[in-house]
Amino acid sequence: MTRRGFFRKAVIWALSGAAGIIASVPVIRLIINAQPPPGLMWSRVGDIGALPLEEPVSMNFEMRSGEAYMHQMVLHDVWVIKRSASDFTVFSPICPHLGCHYKWDPGTSHFECPCHGSVFTMNGRVIGGPAPRPLDTLPYRIEGGTLYVKWERFQVGIPGKVRV
């Protein structure tokens, strides 16, 4: 083999190798970005230092949804009640009757659902309307003054708290 032939082959091999590396980058990124399914992840909700005691506060957070290669950020909200510096209650904002979003009414000190009139105490107990169970709590943890929540959905319209 001539020297020119050798260098020509070497250049072709080098270019083929570089093309292979470039082509594999998306696959490597998929593997690195792979995450557990949504609903099993902790989502950062926000700082809890300034929250008032024994007063429900609606807090929003973004959560990654979908598979690693086709994901989008979804906005969720939760009701957070600070009981003490380390004790909180986090309610799903979804009414357990048929899934509407309920609100806190500071005038009556109740959670009230506008759809069919279910009423709940600050502890989530049903005191009026057709809701078949108390408000659904969500798992949470506190880390460095920040609240993290595991977003989960539960079947509506049934007495039990059954994950969807």
Q: Which residues bind ligand FES (CB under 6 A)?
A: 95, 97-100, 113, 115-118, 129-131
Q: Give the DSSP H/E element, type plus range, for residue 79.
A: strand 70-82
Instruction: Select 39 or 132, whichever has its Cβ closest to ligand FES.
Output: 132
| Least Cβ distance, residue 31 to ligand FES (angstroms) | 42
CB of 104 to ligand FES, least distance (A): 14
Pick the closer one to ligand FES by CB: 26 or 159: 159
From residue 159, give the alpha-carbon distance in Å to each of 97, 98, 111, 123, 133: 9, 12, 18, 17, 5
Q: Pick between residue 43 and residue 118 the one whose CB is nearest to ligand FES.
A: 118
Minimum distance from CB of 25 to ligand FES (Å)?
47
* Nearest residue to 46 (alpha-carbon basis) of 148, 154, 152, 164: 148
Is residue 128 within 8 Å of 117, Cβ to Cβ? yes
Nearer Cβ to ligand FES (41/115): 115
- What minimum distance in Å lies between the beta carbon of 112 and ligand FES? 9
Q: How many other CB atoms are found less than 10 A from the CB of residue 77?
A: 14
